[in-house]
Amino acid sequence: MKSVENTLKNPPRSNTNLKEEIQKLKVEKNAVILAHYYQEEAIQDVADYLGDSLFLAQQAAKVDHDIIVFAGVHFMAETAKIINPTKKVLLPDLKAGCSLADSCPPEDFAAFKSKHPNAIVVSYINCSAEIKTLSDLVCTSTNAEKIIESIPKDQEIIFAPDKNLGAYLNKKTGRKMILWEGSCIVHEAFSFEKIVSLTKSYPKAKFIAHPESESPVLEIAHYIGSTSGLLAFVQKDSAQDYIVATEAGILHEMQKRCPEKTFIPAPVEDDSCACSECAFMKLNTLEKLYRCLLEGTPEIEMDTELMDAARLPIERMLKLS
């Protein structure tokens, strides 16, 4: 019944009204909105800080507001909470998870880790807090190379949970990291054959890809980088057209920063789905963002011991970045 009452008390509004209400509520509640590039366009437009996983973790460590509204997925909001245990961290939809984080269950990972007792664990930030407690260092796609290079060359390393990013990093750094077999459903959905065929239709276009993509896709890319890396590349590069293999939300900011250029989302295997959009990221809507600011819920709540144990590898990453 509660949701029906709320619907009656707070009927859905237009995006313009919602954006105005959100601005007012932010001031009233001393809240800040951090949003990832994969969020829907309207959310990106109301964010105080818009960026990739690293930038958002860095901002989360700096903000002095009472409330952080994290417009992203659960592991990102959880990271913000771990860095700011006394602040209220809100996530517009608590079901906004991540296939990559889910592909690494803590118990299975602990067993895997115990088979390599001398290895250092580097975990990609796209994992649960429990996996972070089993890690020595955390990294994002922006700083992964730097973090790995900070470890002595002869040191055995386990990299989790993304096997595609791990394989790419092994190639780049010449290391032989032991890889956990996890992956992102969005970046694995791109079709190598269709990308090749599309590049023939746009012979002058550059093909750019996120390193969570599979290796055949990465092998044909003109440039490989994190979301912020891809964004920086299209701004400084001289091409006119780009085929982009990452979550399609980034195209909004690319188009804003380079209005004269053309950005084409890379084709996916299954034509019947919007697979280049992350269904988890898109669970957050402007309406849910407004309601979570208004009602102060849903909130990220975590056990203090879990937060304390997960904080160290994140802090190490922030210091090295």
Which of 53, 133 has the CB closer to ligand 13P? 53
Residue 99: contacted member of ligand 13P, ligand SF4, none (CB under 5 to 8 Å, by partner type): ligand SF4
Q: Is residue 54 within 8 Å of 300, Cβ to Cβ?
A: no
- Give the shortest CB-278-to-ligand SF4 separation in angstroms: 3
Candidate ranges 59-67, 137-145, 165-173, 234-242; the one touching ligand 13P (CB under 6 A)? 137-145
Which of 70, 290 has the CB closer to ligand 13P? 70
| Cβ-proximal residue to ligand 13P, closest one | 52
With CB under 6 A as the contact rule, the residue among 213, 227, 284, 285 that binds ligand 13P is 227
Between CA 281 and CA 76 the distance in angstroms is 11
Which of 190, 233 has the CB closer to ligand SF4? 190
Site for ligand SF4 contains 281 (CB under 6 A): yes
Q: Is residue 139 within 8 Å of 131, Cβ to Cβ?
A: no
Between CA 52 and CA 50 the distance in angstroms is 7
In the chain, what is the greatest distance between 2 CA atoms, to the nearest angstrom?
A: 63
Site for ligand SF4 contains 283 (CB under 6 A): no
Binding track, positions 12-41, relative to ligand SF4; x by CB under 6 A: --------------------------x---
Site for ligand SF4 contains 186 (CB under 6 A): yes
| Beta-carbon contacts of residue 309 (< 8 Å; ≥ 6 apart) | 132, 133
Candidate ranges 3-11, 63-71, 181-189, 264-272; the one touching ligand SF4 (CB under 6 A)? 181-189
| Distance between first and last Cα of the chain | 48
Q: Is residue 187 within 8 Å of 210, Cβ to Cβ?
A: yes
Edge-first strand order for the sheet with 206-209 is: 223-224, 206-209, 241-245, 262-265
Which of 26, 187 has the CB closer to ligand SF4? 187
Which of 73, 266 has the CB closer to ligand SF4? 73
With CB under 6 A as the contact rule, the residue among 33, 46, 98, 209 that binds ligand SF4 is 98
SS3 of 209, please?
strand
Burial (CB count <10 Å: 0-12, 13-18, 19+), residue 155? exposed
Residue 277: contacted member of ligand 13P, ligand SF4, none (CB under 5 to 8 Å, by partner type): none
Task: Give, to the nearest 10 degrees, the angle between helix 74-83 and helix 304-320.
Answer: 90
Between CA 63 and CA 89 the distance in angstroms is 12
SS3 of 159, please?
strand
Judged by the rule CB under 6 A, the positions of this chain that interact with ligand 13P are 52-53, 126, 140-142, 184, 212, 226-227
Contact residues toward ligand SF4 (CB under 6 A) are 38, 73, 98-100, 126, 184-186, 247, 278, 280-281
